[in-house]
Structure 1
Amino acid sequence: VSASIQEELAKGFIRPSTSPASAGFFFVKKKDGGLRPCIDYRGLNEMTVKYRYPLPLVPSALEQLHTAKIFTKLDLRSAYNLIRIRAEDEWKTAFSTTSGHYEYLVMPFGLANSPSFFQAFINEVFRDMLNRWVIVYIDDILIFSNSYAEHVRAVLQRLIKHQLYAKEEKCEFHLDTISFLGYVISSEGVAMDERKVNAVLNWPRPTTLKELQCFLGFSNFYRRFIRHFSTVAASLTAMVKKGSSRLTWSQPPLQAFNDLRLRFTTAPILHHPDPDKPFVVEVDASSTGVGAVLSQRQGDPPKLFPCAYYSHKLSSAERNYDVGNRKLLAIKLALEEWRHWLEGAKHPFTVLTDHKNLEYLRSPKLLNHRQARWSLFITRFHFLVTYRPGSQNVKAGALSRIHEPDLPTSSPETVLPASMIVAPVTWDIMTEISEAQIQDPTPADCPDNLVYVPLTLWPRVLAE
């Protein structure tokens, strides 16, 4: 903590504070293993008037790329920290640590309006280049042209002029094919990034009846988009009707399985996201994985079409989470995966989950350290959590169960060794009770499921 504070002080990002406000301070582990300092600004964000600056319409911007052949991608370093906080508003960002009380002089991560304000700033920096040979989405910059050297130089000079810096390790220069915001861009055009559909394309062939039923349950939600679905899936449903716990695959059902996987990832099922329409994020978690589907309502009448799929195998530590935390992890991972569509979205989006307690996600009374980290990230998004019964949450549920282990088939076994001789054992006292009941018969009001013990045998029975 002390080293981080000293570094921020040296950069001029923060200063000691006497503010009455005080947000929590903690670290979040980065993908490269380092630690990122984070402030819990949930309280401040709740009171903040939202700045609705529009984020770029990526599909529209990509239409300008049809003649480009060379592409470069830049990722800005410490992007939000490059914007100065308005004088006399610094006290609102105050936070406490073990080494003191401080406030930000620059815009920190975690503020509700950070994405919108930075987009407005970066658009102004590149205004004369936008959609001519540059596309900027918050801190991601795409340079496209035929004379790549000239345009890359112009962009880098503009960054230097405004004291903006890129992360060298995340930059890609002069490529003929590049991945950008969920799209694969090349001289041949724009296509969907395969990572959006890998969860379905890599769906393993079911080996048990339960796994096949799970796949068909997922398929059934999209049957109205697949012509002659019943015919295509007939050989698979026939396997289910056989009821065999272990599956034997012949050519017809194998072809049907591969055909359905492919159809899920192509039109008319899979649609490009439309930023002008609200999104729906369906999430679920099992004991071994989490799954999610990004969807939108399109067409007339509106129907829910998938835009992307996501599946994640839980680590050994994540498997120890309780049900609520696994469901919360599913939301967090889905928002990370589709951040470029959901953060700063034009419309609030809906998260559908079968865990009712997550409806109160925005205002939990007590958070542990892990939940606090997740919550800090989640509060950057504007959405509503809605409960949907598990029986209706089939798509995300099926994706979450892809990672369930293939349990070995169990064959009937005896509990005791075959060589053991088992003989009935009779309690001797029962014979004595029967003989004593001749002189002292069982009372008429004695319950049928109890044994009447004559008074003369009480000491013996109690001793036994």
Structure 2
Amino acid sequence: METYVSESLEQGYIRPSTSPASSSFFFVKKMDGGLPPCIDYRGINQITVRYSYPLPLIASAIKSMHGAHFFTKLDLRSAYNLVRIREGDEWKMAFSTTSGHYEYLVMPYGLMNGPSVFQAFVDKIFRDLHGLGVVVYIDDILIYSATRAEHVSLVRKVLGRLLEHDLYVKAEKCLFFQQSISFLGYRISKSGVEMENDRISAVRNWPTPTTVKEVQRFLGFANYYQRFIRGFGQVAALITSLLKGEPVRLQWSAEADRSFSHLKALFTSAPVLPHPDPSLAFIVEVDASEAGIGAMLSQLSGTPPKLRPCAFVSKKLSSAERNYDVGDRELLAVVKALKAWRHWLEGAKHPFFIWTDHRNLEYIWAARRLNPRQARWAMFSPVLFS
């Protein structure tokens, strides 16, 4: 702690303070063994106006990586400390240690708006490169290209942009010209995307929840990776229902335990999802039950051609939706799938097909009368059912 304080004073990140405010100072151990400082700013966060700037949807960014063969990952050094605190507000950032009372001159870790503020900062720097082989998530940068020559050019452009804005990377955490790479919990390669091995090990060894918070923690993890699980909403419905009504005590049951074990087994056998190829035809397979709806986006690829899933989507039905008849539940699954994958399906080179086991959906576009719900859903262009 004293080493950090002395180094931060020398770098101009902090200064001695006489502020009436004070927050607790501590270190948080990271997976790589590092100990980044963190301040307990819960008090100031409670009275802070939220800076509403969105963070990137990583799952959406990964979908655009079809054809990429080379990957480079950069990790920015002391990212937050590159943003200055507005003059006059430094006293609010005060913290205490055994050696004295100090306040930050730069943005520290622990502030509610820290991630959004820094994301807006780096987005402004790389705005013209988004969607062109560069993904920036706070202080992590992923560069991907189809050819080595393209990758050399793009990496140089990104590094030049960083140097231009006095941003520096941690050399020990950077990886260049990789055939596959780990990025924010995913393993990405030219073959597709899959769960990182340590995440699979984590879910395999996940202990049975004993409190409401432990259930929330598990579902938070599961929701992040639900795109790999077919029918996730239905499988997780029983565990999710344990949180209904914001209970204080957890009512764990034998059925919940079986559902928990089943969900863990599905995650440990999750497939590699290939990157969607816009030059191939898409197939959307939908299904509905009394508990939920689900859909799978797939393509025929390889030699011989084989149906390969690209993504899954699912949803637990609300109490009102459970009252729909079987046809409307199946149609709801179609609508959710088309909304989720509209950016792929509308821009596809070939017509796409929808596979369903409810044959009556074939005739919906020719129906003379639709109920109000069906009429709202009919905004989507006619598609091919089979």
TM-score (norm 1): 0.47
Instruction: Name the CA distance, whole Å, in 2 between partners of 1:189 and 1:399.
Output: 25
Shift of the 187–282 alpha-carbon distance from structure 1 to 2, 3 Å rule, reads farther
Cross-structure match for 1:245: none
Query: What stretches of structure 2 of length at least 5 have no aligned partner?
Result: 266-386
Cross-structure match for 2:77: 77
1:364-443 matches, within 5 Å, as 387-391=249-253, 393-394=256-257, 398=261
Q: Decide whether the 8 Å contact of 2:179 with 2:190 is kept in 1.
A: yes
Shift of the 32–186 alpha-carbon distance from structure 1 to 2, 3 Å rule, reads closer
Shift of the 122–103 alpha-carbon distance from structure 1 to 2, 3 Å rule, reads same
Cross-structure match for 1:251: none
Instruction: Name the CA distance, whole Å, in 1 between partners of 2:133 and 2:78.
Output: 24
Instruction: Name the CA distance, whole Å, in 2 between partners of 1:396 and 1:143.
Output: 39
1:294-373 matches, within 5 Å, as 294-295=222-223, 303-304=233-234
Cross-structure match for 1:157: 160
Q: Decide whether the 8 Å contact of 1:25 with 1:95 is kept in 2.
A: yes
Shift of the 40–126 alpha-carbon distance from structure 1 to 2, 3 Å rule, reads same
User: 1:351 offset after TM fit, Å?
Assistant: 12
Identity score, percent: 52
- Larger-gyration structure (1/2): 1
SS in 1 for 2:22: coil
Cross-structure match for 2:52: 52
1:180-195 matches, within 5 Å, as 180-195=183-198
Once the two structures are superposed, residues 59-111 of structure 1 have per-residue CA deviations (whole angstroms, 9 ceiling, x without a partner) of 22222211221110111111111111111111111111222211111100011
Instruction: Name the CA distance, whole Å, in 1 between partners of 2:259 and 2:5.
Output: 42
User: 1:283 offset after TM fit, Å?
Assistant: 2.9
SS in 2 for 1:84: coil
User: 1:399 offset after TM fit, Å?
Assistant: 9.3
Q: Decide whether the 8 Å contact of 2:14 with 2:105 is kept in 1.
A: yes
Q: Decide whether the 8 Å contact of 1:185 with 1:191 is kept in 2.
A: yes
Query: What stretches of structure 1 of length at least 5 have no aligned partner?
Result: 205-213, 215-280, 307-349, 360-383, 403-464
Cross-structure match for 2:353: none
Shift of the 394–38 alpha-carbon distance from structure 1 to 2, 3 Å rule, reads same
User: 1:291 offset after TM fit, Å?
Assistant: 6.2
Cross-structure match for 1:140: 140
Cross-structure match for 2:356: none
User: 1:132 offset after TM fit, Å?
Assistant: 0.5
Shift of the 351–386 alpha-carbon distance from structure 1 to 2, 3 Å rule, reads farther
SS in 2 for 1:127: helix
Cross-structure match for 1:20: 20
Instruction: Name the CA distance, whole Å, in 2 between partners of 1:43 and 1:203.
Output: 35
How many residue pairs get aligned? The number is: 250
Q: Decide whether the 8 Å contact of 2:235 with 2:263 is kept in 1.
A: no
Once the two structures are superposed, residues 174-193 of structure 1 have per-residue CA deviations (whole angstroms, 9 ceiling, x without a partner) of 01111222332222333443
SS in 2 for 1:283: helix
Cross-structure match for 2:122: 122
1:79-94 matches, within 5 Å, as 79-94=79-94
Shift of the 72–284 alpha-carbon distance from structure 1 to 2, 3 Å rule, reads same
Kindly provide the amino acid, as one letter, of the partner of residue 167 in structure 1. Answer: K
Kindly provide the amino acid, as one letter, of the partner of residue 48 in structure 1. Answer: T
Instruction: Name the CA distance, whole Å, in 1 between partners of 2:248 and 2:64.
Output: 38
Cross-structure match for 1:283: 214
Cross-structure match for 1:177: 180
Q: CA RMSD in A?
A: 3.9
Q: Decide whether the 8 Å contact of 1:283 with 1:351 is kept in 2.
A: no
Instruction: Name the CA distance, whole Å, in 1 between partners of 2:142 and 2:243.
Output: 35
Q: Decide whether the 8 Å contact of 1:76 with 1:165 is kept in 2.
A: yes
Instruction: Name the CA distance, whole Å, in 2 between partners of 1:101 and 1:85.
Output: 17
Shift of the 10–304 alpha-carbon distance from structure 1 to 2, 3 Å rule, reads farther
Kindly provide the amino acid, as one letter, of the partner of residue 177 in structure 1. Answer: S
Shift of the 70–30 alpha-carbon distance from structure 1 to 2, 3 Å rule, reads closer
Kindly provide the amino acid, as one letter, of the partner of residue 394 in structure 1. Answer: D
Instruction: Name the CA distance, whole Å, in 2 between partners of 1:15 and 1:50.
Output: 26
Kindly provide the amino acid, as one letter, of the partner of residue 2 in structure 1. Answer: E
Cross-structure match for 2:38: 38
SS in 2 for 1:179: strand
Kindly provide the amino acid, as one letter, of the partner of residue 193 in structure 1. Answer: E
Instruction: Name the CA distance, whole Å, in 2 between partners of 1:304 and 1:71.
Output: 35
Shift of the 111–175 alpha-carbon distance from structure 1 to 2, 3 Å rule, reads same
Shift of the 5–196 alpha-carbon distance from structure 1 to 2, 3 Å rule, reads closer
Q: Decide whether the 8 Å contact of 1:41 with 1:111 is kept in 2.
A: yes
Instruction: Name the CA distance, whole Å, in 1 between partners of 2:196 and 2:264.
Output: 23
Cross-structure match for 2:170: 167
Shift of the 162–304 alpha-carbon distance from structure 1 to 2, 3 Å rule, reads farther
Cross-structure match for 1:415: none
TM-score (norm 2): 0.56
User: 1:28 offset after TM fit, Å?
Assistant: 3.4
Q: Decide whether the 8 Å contact of 1:291 with 1:396 is kept in 2.
A: no
User: 1:122 offset after TM fit, Å?
Assistant: 0.8
Q: Decide whether the 8 Å contact of 2:22 with 2:94 is kept in 1.
A: yes
Instruction: Name the CA distance, whole Å, in 2 between partners of 1:139 and 1:71.
Output: 17
Shift of the 59–113 alpha-carbon distance from structure 1 to 2, 3 Å rule, reads same
Instruction: Name the CA distance, whole Å, in 1 between partners of 2:17 and 2:119.
Output: 29
